[in-house]
Amino acid sequence: MTKTIKIFDTTLRDGEQSPGCSMNLKEKVEMAKQLEKMKVDIIEAGFAISSPGDFMSVKTIAETLKDCTVASLARTAEQDIDRAWEALSNAVSPRIHTFIATSPIHMEYKLRMTPDEVYERSVAMVKYAKKYCSDIEWSAEDATRSDPVFLAKIIEGVIKSGATTINLPDTVGYTTPDEYYDFLMKVQEFAPSMSKVILSSHCHNDLGLAVANSLAAIKAGAAQIECTVNGIGERAGNAAMEEIVMALNTRRDIHQAETRTVTNEIVRSSNLLSRITGVKVQPNKAIVGENAFAHESGIHQHGVMNNKETYEIMKPESVGLSKNNLVLGKHSGKHAFRDKVQQMGYNLSEEEIDGMFIKFKELADKKKQVYDRDIEALIAKASVQVPKTYSLEHFVINSGNTITPTAVIRMIRDGKPLEKVSRGDGPINASFNAIEKIVGTGLKLEDYQLQSVTEGNDALGDALVKISDSDGQIYAGRGLSTDVIEASIRAYINAVNKMIYEKTLKPNGINVKTDKETSN
């Protein structure tokens, strides 16, 4: 009998804790909407008490989404649970997710609590959370290095107090599939009340076994898997959602399980996350890597040409890929553009269509061929834009191998033109120096990447810029243009605008420092 597995997506919480993967409010909401479109069952929107930004993210997402459960993480502490509920109170389907460490090493060196104190705290705080909502998840941080007998005792206590989901994570990515299976079976044997609730698994990828361990958990009776898009997360990351979903989908005969996930939204979700965070997946990444459905070997090509199933166990279309790359041209009308955008799975308002069509026509005038990936890049860029404190009016570059590169940049702020000239080691460096002069604050370039969105001499250039301010906070910006210098300039300005936007979200402009304790 096939069972349905709930997908608990923690991209916006555990995933965002991955170095370099932080997102602002607008970006989190955009990602959450895409996850809802994929029909994931639960979205962990953040850790409400950890910062004002996280609180606002959880609150906004909770008030926006209608077709999935929204969860907030909370330590086993009244103030954490109060703050989580304050953020979740307007959700259609709220969940409080509270956690505490249960392994001997964590209890002694991190919590400095005795096992009895951990038990009492867990039971009391689940009961406390239950007064707010019916859906309560309790997690045993570092469960796989915990004593199964002690763990079972706490599980019985928290279930009696009202917990509806019990999560037993492999927090440090230490276990193996067979070991994890045996562990989960043993805990369930010692805690018979687990048959009344949902068993959840949350695996990290330190030994590259997160997905395998998650599948072992399903075999052991888990009905919920906690995972992230592209497998992002602490250290080596979490179990990759796309790999779990497609493993269940492709090998249903083995796993006897399925999810309600809309699989043809997988690639779009992966690409959106990469564009938001600036972190690309490796080419050979399962399911979403650019080589996942590519064939270079002559033997492989010959086989696929005769029958795709010779070397493809999944259809590219099943994860959202399409062979039909060439889409529209400069003579195409808005009706054709709207139809194509809808076919690609995007639901844009008429106002958004009007704005995107103007951008499309500008691009079509510069390129001979416009591909699906060009349109996706334009939509992704527009969807995560922040208010434009600065906008580019024009730039002039003088460069060559016999002169010192010089850039003249004119930007607009509050309707007033601001222009500076600067030299640099190259045209990009000179441009960035000029922008920094205009902004008038100390900025440090942390990373700069430039890649082609599609093939051809007139390919759209996608620039990524990461800058940091005097506090060391990193901001990522993106720019698109067939002119790589213009793309780079726009990316730097986008990063500056994000910095200004995020600073305005902090109360009274104060940078709130918090100890963002993590779980699972």
Residue 28 has pLDDT above 90, yes or no: yes
Please state which of the four CATH numbers 3.20.20.70, 3.90.230.10, 3.30.590.20, 3.40.50.1820 is assigned to the domain occupying 3-277: 3.20.20.70
Q: Distance between CA atoms of 217 and 150, rounded to whole angstroms? A: 20
Instruction: Say whether pLDDT at 420 is over 60.
Output: yes
Q: Is the pLDDT of residue 502 over 60?
A: yes
Distance between CA atoms of residues 382 and 105, nearest Å: 47
At 200-232, the pLDDT tens digits run 999 999 999 999 999 999 999 999 999 999 999
pLDDT at 509: 39
DSSP state of 18: S
Q: Give the per-residue pLDDT at 325.
A: 40
- Containing H/E element for 274? helix 266-277
Q: Give the per-residue pLDDT at 345.
A: 63
**What is the pLDDT confidence band of residue 513, given thresholds at 50, 70 and 90?**
very low
Count CA within 13 A, CB hemisphere, residue 199: 24
pLDDT of residue 44: 98
pLDDT of 510:
35
pLDDT, tens only, 116-173:
999 999 999 999 999 999 999 999 999 999 999 999 999 999 999 999 999 999 999 9
Token pair 């990515």 is found at 173
The predicted pLDDT at position 324 comes to 41
pLDDT of residue 514: 40
pLDDT higher than 50, residue 359: yes
Q: Which amino acid is at 168?
A: L
Closest by alpha carbon to 199, among 179, 212, 218? 218
The span from the CA of 212 to the CA of 234, in Å, is 18
Q: CA of 331: how far to CAs of 361, 364, 365, in Å?
A: 9, 8, 9
Beta partners for residue 478, in sequence order: 464
- Section 26-31 average pLDDT: 93
**The predicted structure's pLDDT at residue 384:** 61
Answer yes or no: is pLDDT of 264 > 70: yes
Find out if CATH 3.40.720.10 is the number for domain 391-505.
Answer: no
